[in-house]
Copies of this chain bind each other. A is one copy, B any other.
Amino acid sequence: MASVTPNEPPVPKRRVPTQLRSRERVERILDASSRIVVERGVDALTTRAVSELAKVPVASIYQYFADKDAILLALVERDTEEMDEQVRTDLGRLELLSLETIVATTMRAYVSVYHRRPSFVEIWLRGRTNAAVRDYGRRHNERTAAEVLEFAVAAGLARPDTPMAAAVLAVEIGDRVFQLAFEKDLRGDEFLIEEGIALVTSYLRRYATDTDGIRP
């Protein structure tokens, strides 16, 4: 419906190439969302809150994201990719492949990303409140489990008949260790992390081969 009182022409703003602005705004939205989640929790992530902090009209958010969940998901995806990348890199650099080094390296890679990305700690470890995020998390854990298992089997460290569920359990347990270690402290409790590594390692020993360790 046309309004009788026409909108005032908006104060002209500095022109910026559209393509760029768009990308920049998506970033702004994600950053704002990230901050909100870290500072006030997942439930505080409302369209309005994002809009205010990102200084982007609520309606505009819907230009970039299908709905609210999509924001959270994008946030998680962004961090998750970095996470996976870190794990891959760190594993690739290993000079001695063994159950111990693989578990330790993987888990420490996670820790380093958690340090870099506090929002990830909040969303991933503290606030897996949102169904979309939770599902994504589960799936990601499953994917990770599958990849690491394959890697370990290929390296002759894990028995080929290791049940998938065991690998998933290991990953999930690692996840919970992190949840606990980062519960109170954004830096992560060192003792718990160490224990967690030991814990996961000792569990996985059940599915290990006799191979002690190999040089890639």
Range for the number of chain A residues in contact with chain B: 35 or more
Max chain B C-beta neighbours (<10 A), residue from A23, A70, A192, A203: A203
Give the residues in chain B near A180, CB-CB below 8 Å.
168-169, 172
B4, B41, B203: the one within 8 Å of A64 (CB): B4
Cβ of A84 to closest chain B Cβ, rounded Å? 18
State whether A2 touches B65 (Cβ < 8 A): yes
Number of copies: 4
Mostly, the A contact residues are helix
Give the residues in chain B near A191, CB-CB below 8 Å.
163, 165
Which residues between 105 and 142 of chain A lie within 8 Å of chain B, taking CB atoms? 129, 131, 138
State whether B183 touches A169 (Cβ < 8 A): no
Give the residues in chain B near A199, CB-CB below 8 Å.
169, 173, 199, 203
Whether A74 sits at the interface, judged by CB under 8 Å, is yes
- Chain A positions 56 through 73: 1 when the CB is less than 8 Å from some CB of chain B, otherwise 0: 000000111111001000
Cβ of A171 to closest chain B Cβ, rounded Å? 10
> 9 extra interchain contacts, Cβ-Cβ under 8 A, other than A6-B22, A165-B195, A173-B176?
A2-B63, A2-B65, A169-B180, A169-B192, A169-B196, A172-B179, A199-B203, A202-B202, A202-B203
Interface residues, chain A, with chain B CB atoms under 8 Å away? 1-4, 6, 19, 22-23, 26, 41, 62-67, 70, 74, 129, 131, 138, 163, 165-166, 168-169, 172-173, 175-177, 179-180, 183, 189, 191-192, 195-196, 198-199, 202-203, 205-206
